[in-house]
Amino acid sequence: MGTADKEVQARGKAYDGTDFIVSKKRWRHIVDRHAELENFLDAVLLTITSPDEAYIDPRGTIHLLKAPKRGPSDFLAAIVRKECQETYLVTAYPIGGKRKIRGYRTFKKLPLS
């Protein structure tokens, strides 16, 4: 993790009990690409702590999905990676129901405890 990535925007416990970190650099990246999420940091954090669904892609990246009570789309996707005992947010984006079905049908669904 680079020096800029060490500045923390938010942290907490992920759905699986690991500590998660959202760096300021990653949050800026997300908001730059998905300006509609600027006021939805809390919804993204909730997606990481309490997802409705979780998937793992062929590279081992974890995709967490949550249907927000309010938000810019049907679902929020938070893409995270694990390093040692910590979980890092890579990106997040809004996703519609149809795109969710198409995009996640080939990924392995993870159990949520």
What tens digit of pLDDT does each residue of 51-108 get? 999 999 999 999 999 998 776 678 999 999 998 889 999 999 999 887 787 888 889 9
pLDDT of residue 51: 97
The pLDDT tens digits for 45-66 are 999 999 999 999 999 999 999 9
Name the pTM for this structure: 0.88
pLDDT of residue 3: 47
* Domain segments of the chain as ranges: 3-108
How far apart, in Å, are the Cα atoms of 74 and each of 14, 25, 53, 67, 71?
A: 22, 26, 13, 6, 8
pLDDT of residue 72: 67
Would you say 37 and 92 are in contact if contact means Cβ atoms under 8 Å apart?
yes
